[in-house]
Amino acid sequence: MIALQKISTDIWDMKYRFKSGESGVVDETIEDTWDRVAHALSRCEGKKAAHWKREFRSALEDFRFLPAGRIVSGAGTGRNVTLFNCFVMGTIPDSLGGIFDMLKEAALTMQQGGGIGYDFSTIRPKGSRVAGVDADASGPLSFMDVWDAMCRTIMSAGSRRGAMMGVMRDHHPDVLAFVEAKRDQARLRNFNLSVLVSDALIEAIDQDADWPLHFDGKVYNTIRARDLWDAIMAATYDYAEPGVIFIDRINKTNNLSWLETIAATNPCGEQPLPPYGACLLGSVNLSRFVADAFTDAAHIDVEALKSCVATAVRMMDNVVDSSNFPLEQQREEAFNKRRLGLGVTGLGDALIMCGIRYGSPQAVEAVDAWLGAIANEAYRTSALLAKEKGPFPLYEAEHYLKAPMVQSLDADVQALIAEHGIRNSHLTSIAPTGTISLYANNTSGGVEPVFGYVFNRKVLQTDGSHVEEEIQDFAYLTFRSVFGEDTALPDYFVEADGLTPREHVVMQAAAQKWVDSSISKTINLPRDIDFEAFKDVYRLAYDLGCKGCTTYRPNEVTGSVLSKAEAPAAVRKTDTAKPAGFINRPEELPGQTYKVRWPHSEHAIYVTLNDIVEEAVDSDGEIVQARKPFEIFINSKNMDHYAWTLALTRMISAVFRRGGDVRFVAEELGAVFDPQGGAFVNGRYEPSLLAVIGGVIERHLNTLGGGASPVAFVPESARAAAGAVEVEAVNSPARDQLCPKCHQPSIVRMEGCNTCTSCGYSKCS
């Protein structure tokens, strides 16, 4: 057995090892972690729990079966976390209240460790009229900025990076802006982006036809279909996004096509899911099933592989019954369909160990054979589980047996399903397995080729810093252990950037044949690949039957997580990672506090807006001081407002710190209607307290010159005269006067009492 590399034990310790704050370390070894997971998932088996605990523990040994990270870190810990990696959230209503309801659901889901996917196509395009408020809509991208800020805020509470997928339909009027969004290096950093590409768009491209961009029955613009496609490819070449999701193919081949419509995927794309669908993942490690490696007799032990698959399906089915769920809708969706996503990892290593070059015709044949065996065994096991425990609640034989995937299974497996039904609506999916494959002694991830045999990887630490460590590929380590350091590598040792785009895609297509969900695969390409050699890769993926495609070419916008190493490199600690555009808070900030009177509230509300002062160049080329909003605090003695005002201040402050045009914040708040009725404030009707706060923000931005970018510092005399005074301005926080509770410079004098706008402390209360 090859000794574990330091990267594997480090990741286990940081991400998967159970530690209790009260009693100290609970998992002393990786074997303890396996014992914990096996015990937790066997408790669903009743009188046979002891037997299945042994079987589950055997499958986990030597990383043969790798449950997804949420399962390894959470099962058996007693923590209030979900064991499901990702979710597609509910359909976003085209209303401000509905949008922020969805934002709340997203925050609750991410708080428990679940990644999320959303279709933002349901939000009306930028510039369209909003009935009843005489205003223009800010469009879906502005709300994606709010989601991005939320994700960054939730991420700050733990070491696991937030993950989100944002998709948009190819006919949405804002689709070109969506495609170009990540050219801004500070924007949407917590999102993966993909365009939902329809069969109709592909047909229009082939016919060089016009393509109408429409929403809710209204055509807003018409462009050439080819121009949209070219824009997607240019953006993907320049900064690796957006990806494409072939949404019509996904829905046509869905095992539950009669029951659900899919409009989005989980963050990495391997699980197309209906609203509130849950993503339950696990991977069989093919590299551990190679017999007689690096000999002419090398092969996959198919019977051992099938035995592991059968155990893995039962383990994953038990996760459904063992997991917490952030939302009740997610629980219902999971229990009604019992969707699984069993996939593979170590494919690239297994091919090398069998002497097969990735991307070759022999590799395509191997993938077809290996994944065909896995799919048939997974469906066979699920049918037998249905006999034992019952099929998933929404199973309907007359529809299910006609699904394309079911029709492709072996005749005996189809017969079992026809006789007993099936326990799980879906069974196969291939995740990227990035961290989990590193944990398994750096096995090649998912269906990817080996990135590099020796490389450096930046690894995020719990304190936000990164370390860069040298890592060696598992197949490479195995080869060196047999043949020594001086033996030349055979020609079947091929790295990701040594493959053509076509060699990447044909492997994904070969795997897709046996995957009822989808595949997360990134086509890694060298920086110097010519655009002409690159531009047809998405179309090739469509033509070969893939359900989606993403690429990665190192570029100035995204940089690179992995870098090949020529020689061993020392581990070094780098600066704490910050999002692009992140600014540390200075000790002192200039600002203004505004007193708001709301007739429906007993106590006054105080809104503090603090600004960051930077240097900028004016129109004459002179360097001047510039000022832009940095943070907001909302405070009141009325504790009924505490929860929503705290959430609002954090979200708006995060948007301010991202930079760019933040005026939309005031506009959106101004459109909020209170169901209990509005009120007149200083002679003007305001539909809600939130609208009044939006007016305060707008007034403050006007004193700065608009809020779209850093603007010249405005003297206080000019600021006091700007616009009509609708609320009363009070003193700003006193210099060097810190709150005795939260120690922030946020003390203001309100109603004759020193009060903190950060935490609500009041000397008088």
Residues annotated as catalytic are: 266, 268, 270
CB-facing half-sphere around the CA of 108: CA atoms within 13 A = 14
For residue 113, what are its two tokens? Answer: 């460790």
Q: Which helix (H) or strand (E) holds 306?
A: helix 302-322
Question: Nearest-CA neighbor of 408 among 253, 250, 248, 521?
Answer: 253
d(CA 59, CA 56): 5
- Which ranges constitute the DSSP H helices of 403-518? 404-408, 411-420, 434-439, 474-483, 501-512
Amino acid at 299: H
The answer to whether 347 and 356 have CB atoms below 8 angstroms apart is: no
d(CA 320, CA 572): 41
Q: Residue 574 in 3-state DSSP?
A: coil
CB-facing half-sphere around the CA of 136: CA atoms within 13 A = 9
d(CA 354, CA 479): 11
Tokens 């065996």 belong to residue: 373
Amino acid at 668: E
d(CA 353, CA 20): 40
Q: Which helix (H) or strand (E) holds 685?
A: strand 684-686
**Chain centre distance of CA 622:** 43
For residue 154, what are its two tokens? Answer: 């939730």
d(CA 540, CA 522): 14
Other residues' Cβ atoms within 10 Å of the Cβ of residue 731? 11
Q: Residue 387 in 3-state DSSP?
A: helix
The answer to whether 335 and 320 have CB atoms below 8 angstroms apart is: yes
Strands 548-552 and 522-524: parallel
Q: Residue 550 in 3-state DSSP?
A: strand
d(CA 449, CA 435): 16
The answer to whether 198 and 218 have CB atoms below 8 angstroms apart is: no
d(CA 652, CA 602): 25
Strands annotated E in 690-746 = 711-712, 728-730
Torsion 423-425-428-434 (CA) sign = negative
Question: Nearest-CA neighbor of 284 among 427, 83, 147?
Answer: 427
Torsion 436-438-441-444 (CA) sign = positive
Buried b / exposed e along 303-312 (16+ C-beta atoms within 10 A) = eebbbbbbbb
For residue 189, what are its two tokens? Answer: 């950093």
Question: Nearest-CA neighbor of 234 among 274, 176, 312?
Answer: 176
d(CA 243, CA 179): 9
For residue 217, what are its two tokens? Answer: 């029955």
